[in-house]
Amino acid sequence: MSDFSEMIQPFENAESLATHIEKALKETVPAGWRAARWPDGSLSWRIEQVDGDSTPGEMVEYSLFATSDLRFIIVTYGNSDAGPLTERHLIHDAKVIQAYGAKRFGLGGYLRDIFENCAPNRTCCT
């Protein structure tokens, strides 16, 4: 595979990307948090706080999604549903990681940076 074609399509299929993501999550999810893949079979995970300072009924989490073309990994962070619904609630803050970079340099470093420097999403705050 040429360097260019690997940049365009770094993973052969969805399961190879899922395996890469699962390995990185196992290595980087902080203590007091857990990662779980959505049961619908999509390339989607929730990384949720299980021990921490959340209020009852509040979900404190990051969401991780891979695009269907397997080229990008998206991690949402710092979003909240507090207050009345506005357009702002529907525009999410996220980090977009090229899958090529995740494969070449390791996804773990990107995830560690997000977990250490980006606040999690907080939902059910209203």
pTM of the shown model: 0.89
In the chain, where do the E strands start and end? 33-37, 44-49, 59-66, 72-76, 94-98, 121-123
Task: Tally the domains of the chain.
Answer: 1
Each residue's pLDDT expressed in tens, for the chain with a length of 126 residues: 556 666 677 899 999 999 999 999 999 999 999 999 999 989 999 999 998 776 777 899 999 999 999 999 999 999 998 888 888 888 899 999 999 999 999 999 999 999 999 999 999 855
Q: Is 123 exposed, middle or buried (0-12, 13-18, 19+ CB in 10 A)?
A: middle
Domain containing residue 89: 3-123
